[in-house]
Structure 1
């Protein structure tokens, strides 16, 4: 049944490629594009036979050379959020949060002037910090066709992994999924040589407006400050629940009348650590965040 669901989702996104053959001729007139990526990944480093699929969106403005990368679930969860907010106004209502599908990459990543802005939530608190774009590529000689685009290869060492990418000059944008970019064309496919993570372009369309995120609620910090906050959360992931608050994956808070019992809190703590341990494979395994996470989880 899971395979069937994945196929349907992929088929849906592939329908978005109807403009693929027409885009190049009209590209100089367009200003904003939306690129849809499929991510196939191995969530657990010790169980490589288990694979999952997520979908992500890259909005790109050709006029300003700015981009935003985020999970497609942000769009889906927004409508669910509004529904739950209306339900929470009714007393004694039980809200089913199963509609909030988790994303493997939870951050919103924007790029402007060769700087990545990382927007992340930690237990309901919103933080943003910056990282410089440091992609140093070695151009290759391999060719590949992705969708209807002719692509060339390039290699890079990033995040403690070796990656092979394919990019196309037919979409002459120096952008790509996640924190990958700085090639003379859009990245259409990129995977690490261990085949644990693979992004593939599955759809392209022109848009009038990008998704409007409320970035004003994010607190600006440096990366080290963010890591300290993340470490504090991992050491006590049920701190908010002790105060009678449920926090969804996108940082939305719901205060529950009467709070929670000690057994409910303890069970939730075990569930959180279990879930984090199952999804322990970091895309950037040499990052500060990954090292802190693994250090704490390995001690549990």
Structure 2
């Protein structure tokens, strides 16, 4: 009887801690190391990504993209700032324009992205990423973690999650483990996300600009449109009113050719 009472007290204590944590709004900063050219190991680059979470939802996006959007919004709210002149160096650059919103009470998440000048979104089931949890553990950046594996969109992944942070979430689309994903990488280590910072913020940011038309499509349709753009990028840019010389066209094609290793390789 005493043992059962002790277990009950532990459960109540854990539940209270989880509820207290859920009342907070967290900002997790992940470092993403990625290889944009599958044929060139020296093409690896680094970019910070942000995961905002509260008790209802999370938002995952590029840190530079978040800061860029914040500057743009500030200029919209204060036109006098724009009148003083805008320097291109003010806007942080990012290779990742996507934003992923996960609603904790729903069975799917929403993926937003931009292709040239058009904005798209699609919904995807959280069950599209099935996990296998192992008993292997190790400490990463001060957190005791447990190993899990999965396969998604043509890549095999190893994840390390920690129930010391009782949030069922992680970077990119990865979701559903009994603790926050501290590190996840594909088998070739072409994409490696690792948690570097944990902080709290005053409010959940709004990261999707609904003032612009957003076309709802399927994931397959979005991938088709992205591939079509990459194949015809020079033509699309020219059609938008820009005059491109042959040298610039060659540079655009060369850059796109080297960006041959997206995080999602297949449907």
Residue in structure 2 matching 1:209, options 198, 203, 213: 203
Q: Distance in 2 between matches of 1:241 and 1:34?
A: 40
Q: Which residue does the alignment assign to 1:118? A: 111
Q: Which residue does the alignment assign to 2:10? A: none
Residue in structure 1 matching 2:148, options 143, 148, 154: 154
Shift of 1:104: 3.4
Q: Which residue does the alignment assign to 2:265? A: 285
Shift of 1:204: 0.8
Q: Distance in 2 between matches of 1:67 and 1:227?
A: 23
Matches within 5 A, 1:176-255: 176-212=170-206, 213-217=208-212, 218-238=214-234, 239-244=236-241
Q: Alpha carbons of 1:97 and 1:236: their partners in 2 closer, same or farther (altered >3 Å)? A: farther
Q: Alpha carbons of 1:81 and 1:268: their partners in 2 closer, same or farther (altered >3 Å)? A: farther
Alpha carbons 1:237, 1:269 under 8 Å: kept:
no
Q: Alpha carbons of 1:210 and 1:89: their partners in 2 closer, same or farther (altered >3 Å)? A: closer
Summarize deviations over 1:251-284 as a string: whole Å, max 9, x none: xxxxxxxxx4452xx4443333222222221211
**RMSD of aligned Cα (Å):** 2.8
Q: Distance in 1 between matches of 2:41 and 2:210?
A: 36
Q: Alpha carbons of 1:79 and 1:206: their partners in 2 closer, same or farther (altered >3 Å)? A: closer
Q: Does 1:273 align with 2:253?
A: yes
Q: Alpha carbons of 1:44 and 1:88: their partners in 2 closer, same or farther (altered >3 Å)? A: farther
Q: Alpha carbons of 1:227 and 1:155: their partners in 2 closer, same or farther (altered >3 Å)? A: closer
TM superposition score normalised by structure 2:
0.79
Alpha carbons 1:190, 1:198 under 8 Å: kept:
yes
Residue in structure 1 matching 2:94, options 99, 103, 116: 103
Shift of 1:80: 4.8
Shift of 1:194: 1.2
Q: Alpha carbons of 1:139 and 1:209: their partners in 2 closer, same or farther (altered >3 Å)? A: same
TM superposition score normalised by structure 1:
0.71
Q: Does 1:163 align with 2:154?
A: no
Q: Distance in 2 between matches of 1:100 and 1:89?
A: 13
Q: Distance in 2 between matches of 1:44 and 1:151?
A: 31
SS at match of 2:257: helix
Shift of 1:224: 4.0
Shift of 1:243: 3.6
Q: Alpha carbons of 1:281 and 1:98: their partners in 2 closer, same or farther (altered >3 Å)? A: farther
Alpha carbons 2:65, 2:93 under 8 Å: kept:
no
Instruction: Tell me how many residue pairs correspond in the alignment.
Output: 242
